[in-house]
Amino acid sequence: MRVSRPATPQYAWGLGYLLLAATALGWGLNFPILKLGLENSPPLLFTSLRMALGTVTMFLIAAAMGILRWPARGDWPVLFSVGVLQNMAFISLVTLGLQFLPAGRAAILAYTTPIWVVPAAALFLGERFTRPRAIGVGLGMTGLLVVLNPLSLGWDNPDVLLGAGLIMLGTLVWTAGLIHVRRHHWHGEVLALIPWQLLMSVLILTPIALLVEDPGEIIWDTTFLWPLLFSGTVASGLCVAAQVAAIRSLPAVSLSLSSASVPAVGLLSAAWFLGEQPSQTDIVGFVLIAAGILVVGLADRRQAVRSRAAAASESSPS
């Protein structure tokens, strides 16, 4: 009897890459736009309002798709960790750090997260730390050192060090959340759970923001409202939905390409909106970090192909 092999997965390349490009564009543009918004609002209050808009947007998207459900009991732990770590803590720390750094440089530092995931997954999940992954991490860490070197960053300025430290802390917190996500067995539709994650982060962050910041400092004019609307509805809402859809449509290496593209958009849009001039070290560091992310993505794809092949051979009759 002839046994047919599983067909190679077919991806909706056109739609997937369109969504991926829209996501990279939206998240990259958000860095200079967010910096403009912070000129008229304290950072935590801005973040709370932004995430509230994102929550409303995601609830509307889930309802329109007919997938809005009350989360299963088994998903509540990861809803809490994602809501607190990847949403509230990461976005708040990046926003706080953005006050002290150029928007383009902040984008580079914030999107080093794929580099941190590799050693964390090896340490906590037992994933193999292969040579290609080690090369990717090495490239990323070298790029990070280039960006953070004392000659370009200005270590004599404590505000700059604080800004870089806050963003790097945010990437580590985000990585911790991802490790929990990878260990979790989902009971519900991922897209349907995102509104609840955002809502949880808003409910926790809002009292903190009101406690430590003064709402009277917000200047309610168009220079505050349009950055808030963009950061809330587009960056925290539509881009999140597009990213989830792209994950279904494309292989993992394409998502690594997206992670490398966001800082590039951030650098270019910061030069356009804010007149920032990226330094040579910023550009070199970005190229090295982007190369590291792509190498890690290729290594992950290679490992996934091998795993599927091994699973197929084990399931085939001898």
**Each residue's pLDDT tens digit, 202-226:** 999 999 999 999 999 999 999 999 9
Q: What are phi and psi of 289, to 5 degrees?
A: -65, -45
Token pair 């356009």: residue = 272
Residue 47 corresponds to which tokens in the numbers above? Answer: 């973040």
Q: Per residue in 157-168, pLDDT tens?
A: 889 899 999 999
What is the total count of domains within the chain? 1
Model confidence at 275: pLDDT above 80: yes
Confidence band for 311, pLDDT divided at 50, 70 and 90: very low
Share of the chain above pLDDT 90, in %: 42
Please list the alpha-helical segments (H only) found in 82-229.
Answer: 90-98, 103-110, 113-124, 131-148, 150-153, 158-183, 190-212, 222-229
Give the residue among 83, 68, 21 at the shortest CA–CA distance from 254. Answer: 21
Is residue 80 assigned to a domain?
yes
pTM of the model: 0.85
Residue 312 has pLDDT above 60, yes or no: no
Q: Has residue 198 got a pLDDT over 90?
A: yes
Task: Kindly state whether residue 3 falls inside one of the protein's structural domains.
Answer: no
Q: Are 75 and 186 a contacting pair, CB within 8 Å?
A: yes
Residue 8 belongs to some domain of the structure: no
- Per the structure, the complete domain to which residue 232 belongs is given by 13-315
Is 147 within the bounds of a domain?
yes
Question: Are the C-beta atoms of 167 and 161 separated by less than 8 Å?
Answer: no
The answer as to whether 38 is a domain residue is yes
pLDDT, greater one: 73 or 234: 234
The rounded distance, in Å, linking the Cα atoms of 113 and 82 is: 15
Segment 283-305 mean pLDDT: 77
pLDDT tens profile 54-107: 999 999 999 998 988 898 888 888 888 888 888 899 999 999 999 999 999 999
- Domain-embedded: residue 283: yes
Please check whether residue 122 lies inside any domain of the structure: yes
Calpha distance 191→58 (Å, rounded): 9
The answer, yes or no, to whether residue 11 has pLDDT greater than 50, is no
- Whether residue 214 is contained in a domain is answered as yes
